[in-house]
Amino acid sequence: MPGSGMDRRRFLLGLGGLGVASWLPVSAQASLSAPVRKLSLHNLHTGEQVTASFWEEGNYLEDGLSSFSRVMRDIRRNEAFPIDPKLFDQLFLLQLRLGRQGEIQIISGYRSPLTNAMLRRQSKGVAKKSYHMLGQAVDLRLPGVSLVEVNKAARQLGVGGVGYYPSSDFVHLDTGPVRSWG
């Protein structure tokens, strides 16, 4: 049956959305009930910008997710990788908690294993088994919001990992276990 693959995929992605809700605090779950979730991403290394909805009427939207994955690709290898939709949910919730919408500046999204190994040789702050290699992490800034505020709000969400890197001017978010550092 034509189109049934996409219907099945949307159904499965929708179930994934339910999974996200199960690990969120009650206050965050209420925020995820918004009928439309939209983000504006700006990759600072490439200058690329995309504004798209990634969730509407209970379903993740493939077009929005794909455009975000492209902007968050490994720029050193020009390699895109599917980014975990839960990461976009976290970004959406972060903006709600901060009471603002607008551009999210991407410092680093997906990293291929080769890029991660190269960066590890250059810096002690790069994890050997980084969530970036799984499409489950982002390093970011929010224009007009202090890094201290972004870090505090991200930790208050109570989901995933939050790393604070003031000397490098970014906050790390990932969809791994709840933990924080920096």
pLDDT at position 31 is: 59
Task: Give residues with Cβ within 8 angstroms of 171, minimum separation 6.
Answer: 139, 140, 141, 147, 150, 151, 154, 162, 163, 164, 165
What is the spatial distance between Cα 157 and Cα 147, in angstroms, rounded to a whole number?
16
Residues contacting 8, CB < 8 A, separation 6+: none
Three-state DSSP class for residue 28:
helix
Q: Which residues have C-beta within 8 Å of that of residue 130, sequence separation ≥ 6?
A: 111, 116, 137
Per-residue pLDDT tens listing for the chain (182 residues): 444 444 444 444 454 444 444 444 434 444 567 789 999 999 999 999 999 999 999 999 999 999 999 999 999 999 999 999 999 999 999 999 999 999 999 999 999 999 999 999 998 888 889 999 999 999 999 999 999 999 999 999 999 999 999 999 999 999 999 999 99
CB atoms within 10 A of CB 88: 27
The pLDDT, as a whole number, for residue 34 is: 77
pTM confidence score: 0.81
Tell me the C-alpha distance between 17 and 164, whole Å.
27
Nearest to 92 by CA among 48, 43, 157: 157
What pLDDT does residue 65 have? 98
* Overall CATH class of domain 4-181: alpha beta
Q: Which tokens is 39 given?
A: 């983000």
